[in-house]
Chains A and B, each alone.
Chain A
Amino acid sequence: MLRRIALELLLVVGVLLGGCASHGPVSLQEVREFADASAKLGGYAELSRRYRDTYEREQPYLSPQADRIARENDVRRKAVYDDFVAIQKTLVLYMQTLSLLAGDGRYDLSARIDDLGNGLKANTGSGLQQRHVAAYTGMTRLLTRVIASSYQNRSVETMVRDGDADVQVLLDAMISLTRLYYKTNENEKKTVLGIFDVEIPFSNRNSDRVLATLAKVHYLNKSTEYKLIDRRYELALQGLTKVALGHQKMRENMDKLTGDETRRMLANYGRDLRTIRDGLNGD
């Protein structure tokens, strides 16, 4: 019987040790922060929607001839909108998962093991000695921590290494699309504001005064609106570029993810991304 118990114990310890790799416990806090900030960046989704809805905004300003083409464009833009959004959803999901994987302390079970040890201490009528409990608790705490951390570390590595090429392709697509959104918006803006450029100077008769005044007010509102939007394209592009660069750097420094320099660099990317997000939320 005792031999069997010993065997079980050995087996159990074997199982526990089997999970251990050469990595020590690590903190992947910066990876998690970067991934979180990347997932929450924002901007792209909103600008995709804006792109999709271009026609609704420009329609009142269009001549019949332009309107005909604009309607065709509207159909084209709406046809691909879901695809635009799907790219982003894939990336967000990836980043959220990476963040979970790099979660710090999430899988640290030491507190629970301490509880266990304490609970046991409470009914030590069994004859189990205090120092035994302490030893068990200490050992299991160490083992679970090492398993969790090394496994996590390896998983983060795998994910970043295997994912980087595709992440870069998708981010590149999002950057390209955002630029196209911007260019499309430029033409929309110039169409909407342009009509006032031309028509306001024509309206200088007394009978035109009320109308001309309303037009000027409308023009001012519109031009402010477009100025704010322009800033959003810029921020969104900055953000996407930073995400791409940050992920690339992470892959390049995979073997020294816990090094001070890498951590500092990743922390900077995370901070920049949060600043950009604040900028996007601020307006």
Chain B
Amino acid sequence: MEKSSQDQPTSQGQQLPTPVDAAAPPVALSASDPAHDILAGQTSTAAPGSQDKGLSRTQHVVELADSLSTIADQLHERIMREIRGYAGGSVPDQVQATLRKLFDDETVLRQRANALYADAASYVIQGLDQPQSRLVALTTDAAHKIRRIGVIGEVTGLVGGLLLLAGAVASGKPTPVVLALEKIHLHAKTLDALTPTPPGPTA
């Protein structure tokens, strides 16, 4: 599919050299120095774990798309060289028509390349369900923990009960003692339910 558009350049190709020097070395612009240019780097770098197949497929598609983009760039350069040849003078209509046609070809190539980039993007997405749902689970879990830490306020309530009890005991009045004890009971129970289960000595 992608090939066909560049194989039929549609130019009448009179005095112009045919633009189909598509055999020119594909890619060279950006991919040559991925370490330096963050934008041009390989589309998949870290490749953690199990997704190797998906990644290599993505990579191939991206490389193909990069070549199409590069060919389009070269085609554009060729068109511009032709135009510059007229040094600002008027370009004959026939030549204009041919160059326009070539430029159309260039944009078609770019659309083909973008189609492949879109494919590659959907490959990137594939296989991310698991990491995503694991991370969501982890986050939810942590949110629970945060809520529990927040409830450490309960400890304060418990301490309040303790202090109340201490006061009541000191004053020797029975009713406040019972009340304070009830309060402590309630808090101790809540706290029990909320105490983080310590994951053993390892942590």
- B7 on the A face (CB < 8 A): no
Q: How many residues of A contact B (CB 8 A)?
A: 105
Q: How many residues of B contact A (CB 8 A)?
A: 93
Interface membership of chain A positions 148-171, coded 1 if the CB is closer than 8 angstroms to chain B and 0 otherwise = 100110110111001101111110
Bound-complex Cα distance A76 to B112 (A)? 13
A97 to chain B, nearest CB (A): 5
Q: Which of A19, A83, A191, A201 is B196 in contact with, Cβ under 8 Å?
A: A19
Known A-B contacts A93-B139, A112-B156, A184-B114; A198 and B103 likewise in contact (beta carbons under 8 Å) = yes
Residue of A at shortest CB range from B113? Answer: A187
Q: Which residues of B contact A (CB under 8 A)?
A: 38-41, 43-49, 51, 58, 62, 65-66, 69, 72-73, 76, 79-80, 83, 86, 88-91, 96, 99-100, 103-104, 106-108, 110-115, 117-122, 124-125, 128, 131-132, 134-136, 138-139, 142-143, 145-146, 149-150, 152-153, 155-156, 158-160, 162-163, 165-171, 177, 181, 184-185, 188, 191-192, 195-196, 198-199, 201, 203
List residues of chain B with CB within 8 A of the CB of A152: 149
Tell me if B39 and A194 are in contact (CB < 8 A).
no
Tell me if A140 and B198 are in contact (CB < 8 A).
no
Q: Which of B39, B113, B150, B167 is A128 in contact with, Cβ under 8 Å?
A: B167
Q: Which residues of A contact B (CB under 8 A)?
A: 1-2, 4-5, 8-9, 11-12, 15-16, 18-19, 21-23, 54, 61-63, 65-66, 69-70, 72-73, 76-77, 79-80, 83-84, 86-87, 90-91, 93-94, 97-98, 100-101, 107, 109, 112-113, 116-117, 120, 125-128, 132-133, 136, 140, 143-144, 147-148, 151-152, 154-155, 157-159, 162-163, 165-170, 172-173, 175-177, 179-180, 182-184, 186-188, 190-191, 194-195, 197-198, 201-202, 204-205, 230, 233-234, 237-238, 241, 244
Looking at B48, B118, B156, the one whose CB has the most chain A CB atoms below 10 A away is: B118
Tell me if B72 and A90 are in contact (CB < 8 A).
no
Bound-complex Cα distance A113 to B155 (A)? 10
Residue of A at shortest CB range from B122? Answer: A80
